[in-house]
Each structure stands twice: as C-alpha cells, then as structure tokens.
A and B are shown apart, each in its own frame.
Chain A
Amino acid sequence: MARPLPLQDDGARTAAARADDAPGGFVPRVRHVPPAQRVAAAARLVTAVAVGLVMMFPLYWMVTLAFSPNADVFSRELHIWPSSWSLDNFRTVFGSFPTATWFGNSVVITAFVTVLTVTVNLLAGYAFAKLDFRGKGAIFLLVLSTMMIPVQVLMVAQFRLVTQLGIYGTFWAVILPSAASAFGIFLARQFIIAIPDELIEAAKVDGAGTLRIFLQIVLPLCKPLIAVLVLLTVMYQWNDFAWPLIALKDSELFTLPIGLLYLRGQYGADYGAIMALALVSITPIVIMFLAFQKYFVQGLARSGIR
C-alpha cells in the first residue's frame, strides 16, 4: 500500500507550490474582458495594495526610526521619512549595551536547541512510527497531550525543576526544557510512518540493526521533514520570550528578546535605540523566512505553533 508522504501530500504544500509555480497570478489572456470583470480586478488590486501597506507600515516605521536622528523621534511633528539618515541609534545599542553578546547568546542557544530538539524529534518520531514496544499508543497520546498545555502553566513547575537541577540562570535552563517538543515529535512520527515497511524489513534481512536502519535508511528519506523541523525550531527559539525571561537572570547571558526588554527598561521612550535593536534582532529570522518561505509556510500550515 503506497501511502503518500504527508509533507508532500499536504494541502499547504500544494498551496505554496502552486502559488510559486503560477505565473505570478497574471490575468490569463482572454480576448474580451468584460468591463465588470476589469472593475473587479482593479478593486482586488487596490484592496491588496492597501492591505500590503498596512502590513508593511509597522516594519517600515521600525526601520525609519532606527535610522533617524533622535530629534525626529521625540518631535511632535510628523516625519514620515527621516530628516537625515543616522547610525547613532546603532552606535548607542552596540556601544552602551552588550548587544553583540546578546546576539551571540541567541545564536548559541538557538543552535543548541535546534540540534537537540530536531535530534530528539527524529529519534522519538522513528520510535513511535516504526518500533514496537509496550504502551506505545498510550505514551504517544501522553506526548501529544502536552501540546495542549500552555508554557505559562508549566512555568512555575519548570522554574522549580531547573532550580533543583542547579542550572537556573544558565543557558542549560533555556536549552534543556526546549528539547521536549511534542509538536516536533508528532510531525516526525507522521512523516516517518509513511516510509514503506518493506525498506526497513529488507535492511533487517541484510543484518542492519535499528541504529543503522535509522541512520542509513530512514534519515536520508527525511530531508524535507528535517528542513521544516529546523526552520520552525530556529524561529520558535530565536523569538522565545516568556521562558528565557524567567530562566536567565544575568544580563550578560540574555538573549535578544530579553535584551530588548532590558534596553527598554533602561532607555524608556528612546524609541530610536529600541527600534535599532529590534531591527538587529529580527533581521536573521526575516532573511531566513524570505529564503525558505515555502518550507516555512508548509510547516506553519501544519502546526499552529507560533
């Protein structure tokens, strides 16, 4: 029975693929376009442009303020465009705050979490999909049910746990709890279960053990899955706020979102500096999103994590 690989059969993938393969949505060449249809097409375009402007404006405004001299930020007059371009805010952010350190912390934590989470996701997904052990169904349900539990419900218990482990205030306090991602395990299991059992049986006949089957048969087939898991984990961890806010106390160890909040606490209404740091903090993820939009959309479409 040929079961379709879930990620390839997903509606969102088709959505993304069709959107990207379609010739930019240009009007097909029809000889006679009735005026009513032309009006409708124009109305659609105007609406889309208006929506695009509304969606873009906060980002545009962030960039503008980040590059504006302070006089513009604090003036009561309207400046839609900076009166002059200035790097002062970036000098403040990098000169008076450990921004480079925060950036490095975010990179290190995100890298560790991503490697750890994706590894656990794949191993657990493989076990739930292809191995037989007692209580498999019940354990899988238990894992799934943790998706329903909000982080905020767990934060007190998790805080006590990392305190008792003696890792409170260290990177490990942020990294270790993040490795348990029920959603990633679910995604991996759904993907791996579609790999034909015959492949695995054949490898067993050839004398391959479980680990070898995993590494040499299953993993090479999981590239699209790994791409989605990596992108979503990176995005989630890079942006994560509530838990690192609780788990880290030393400002030298902050990640960028916590640093942003700290900067705001110190500088109050200096929006120029705040927006400069905000811009620094979102740039890597925005670039990643633009480069891998297809995978992002596909992954998000089947997730609901944000």
Chain B
Amino acid sequence: MGLANYQRLVADPTFWQSALNTAVFTLLTVPLSLALGLGLAVLMNSVLPGRRLFRTLIYLPMVISGVATALMGVLLFDEATGIVNKLLREGGLAAIPWQSQGSAAFTSIILVTLWIRVGFNMVIYLAALQGISPELYEAARLEGAGPWQQFRYLTVPLVGPSTFFLLIMDVIYSFQVFDTIFVMTGGGPGRSTSVLVTYAYENGFVTRDQSYAAAIGIVIFLLTLLFTAIQWRGNRSRDTAG
C-alpha cells in the first residue's frame, strides 16, 4: 500500500516508454483527425453528386468493432502477405517492415486510428458547418475573399466551439486507445507501440500485478483530467479575451 507503486512507476523505463508513446500517439492522431475531419466536412458540405453515399462511407468505420478494424489493419499491413506491401513491391518499391520496425508499426496504428476516427470528427464539423449562415460567405465573396481566405477567416473561427469539443474528445480517445494497439501489435515490436492503457492491462491481467495496474490507471485518469482542465481554462480565457 501507500506510495510504493508510484515510486516504482517513476523508476520503471517501460512506464516512461509507454507514457512517451501515448503522448506521441496523441500529438499525431489528434491534429490529423481534426484536420481531416474538417477538410472532409467542408467537402461533404459542398455541392457534390452522391454526397450522401460518400458520407455513409466515411461514417461506416466508426460503427465497426475495434477488434475487427484492428484485424483489418493486421491484414492490410502484414509484412509478408499484406496488400500494402504487395502493392509496394508491385510498384517496384521496397516493402515496409510494418511488424519488425517500431516506427513502421507505430505508423500503421496511426493510419488505422485515423480511418476509424475521421468519421466522428466529420459528423461534428458537418453539424457546425450547417449552422453557419450562407450570407456570411456571400458577404465575404463580395469583399473579394477567395476560397482559401473564406476557409481560413470564416470557417475555421466559426467552427471553433466544435474544434474545442473534438479536441477534448479526440485527446481522451487517443489517451485511452486500447483495442487497436492490443490487437494490431500488442505493444510491440519490443515496447515501441506500448501505451499506458495496454501497459496497465498487461500488468493487471497478464502478469497479475493488479495494484501496480491500478496505479497506472490513476495516472491515466489524472492526465485526462489535467488536460481537460487546461483546455477548459484556455478556451474560457480565449472567449473572454476575444
């Protein structure tokens, strides 16, 4: 009991590796999910034949179980038999060591995560975009604003509240990522894709050191709480300043 578990955490290199991996994973997946989600929402909000079909296709991955999507990832990125490497070889390029090299494994997890996650980001942004009055864009056009300027100075600020909401949701999601990593890499090769949650699971239910696992759980919880609090304050002060 007591703080022994936390002293052990501080001295545990695997814990630090997992914490670092969690941070890197979050820092990469969150901005990419936001950017892709907003980009696709703008696209799907524009005049486009077959818009409903495209939207459905983008939503679909988010209703599929994490295990099934992760297994699809395993299948696509298998070093020897996966279609991605087959296509690379076919194109005369070198195959990528998705399972045997840490950074490649990490990349494959990020790609699968984006595939799952982009639909949710698009849903939220689409709702926000449809709340924006078309007259604003009309006015901007009359002032001579091009498409990029309209996007940069109208769309981006106007969907700000949605970005704030998604930022919190996406960070929590990325912090707590489990299914994808557990199934695709199991934290490997080595410890290169181990994150806090998979490490907590491993301690709690593989090596059966449950109090240590609970300590890691508390760290995850505190980090989630801390981040949300910072975001909340940051957002409020920006609102009052603006």
Contact = CB atoms under 8 A, between A and B. Distances in A.
Interface of A: 10-12, 14-15, 18-20, 22, 24-28, 40-41, 44-45, 47-48, 51-52, 54-56, 58-59, 61-62, 65, 73-78, 148-157, 159-160, 235, 238-239, 241-242, 246, 256-257, 260-261, 264, 269, 271, 274-275, 278, 281-282, 285-286, 289-290, 293, 296-297, 300-301, 304, 306
Contacts of A12: 123-124, 126-127
B51 interface: yes
B53 interface: yes
B236 to A, nearest CB: 18
Given A44-B43, A52-B54, A286 B75 contact: no
Contact of A24 (B46, B51, B66, B74): B51
B75 A24 contact: no
A156 B214 contact: yes
Nearest to A272: B75
Contacts of B71: 260, 264, 274-275, 278
A48 B53 CA distance: 10
Interface stretch (B12-20, B78-86, B101-109, B134-142): B78-86
Nearest to B178: A242
Contacts of B4: none
A55 B130 CA distance: 23
30 contacts: A11-B128, A11-B131, A12-B127, A19-B126, A22-B51, A25-B49, A27-B49, A44-B48, A47-B43, A58-B73, A58-B75, A61-B72, A75-B81, A76-B80, A78-B90, A150-B217, A151-B176, A152-B176, A152-B200, A153-B220, A155-B213, A156-B204, A239-B67, A256-B65, A260-B68, A278-B72, A282-B68, A285-B65, A289-B60, A300-B120
A23 to B, nearest CB: 10
A28 B214 contact: no
A241 B67 contact: yes
Q: Which 3 A-B pairs have the closest CB atoms?
A: A25-B51, A239-B65, A153-B217
B242 interface: no
A239 B178 CA distance: 13
Nearest to B173: A306
Describe A's contact surface by its main secondary structure: helix
A40 B86 CA distance: 34
Contacts of B54: 48, 51-52
Contacts of A44: 43, 46-48
A178 to B, nearest CB: 15
A260 B72 CA distance: 12
B154 interface: no
A301 B124 contact: yes
Nearest to B40: A51
A279 B76 CA distance: 15
Q: How large is the interface on B (under 10, 10 to 19, 20 to 34, 35 or more residues)?
A: 35 or more
A24 B50 contact: yes
Nearest to B212: A156
A281 B68 contact: yes
B150 interface: no
B217 A154 contact: yes
Contacts of A74: 81
B146 to A, nearest CB: 11
Contacts of B120: 300, 304, 306
A150, A151, A260 interface centre (most CB from chain B within 10 Å): A150
Interface in B33-73: 40, 43-44, 46-69, 71-73
B178 A45 contact: no
A195 B55 CA distance: 33
A74 B62 CA distance: 29
A104 B201 CA distance: 27
Contacts of A22: 51
A275 B67 contact: no
A55 to B, nearest CB: 5
A71 to B, nearest CB: 12
A261 B184 CA distance: 11
Interface string B161-184: 000010001001101101100110
Contacts of B49: 24-27, 45
Given A15-B130, A44-B46, A48-B48, A297 B59 contact: yes
B156 interface: no
Contacts of A27: 47, 49
A269 B225 CA distance: 40
A81 to B, nearest CB: 12
Contact of A41 (B47, B69, B116): B47
A84 to B, nearest CB: 18
A37 to B, nearest CB: 9
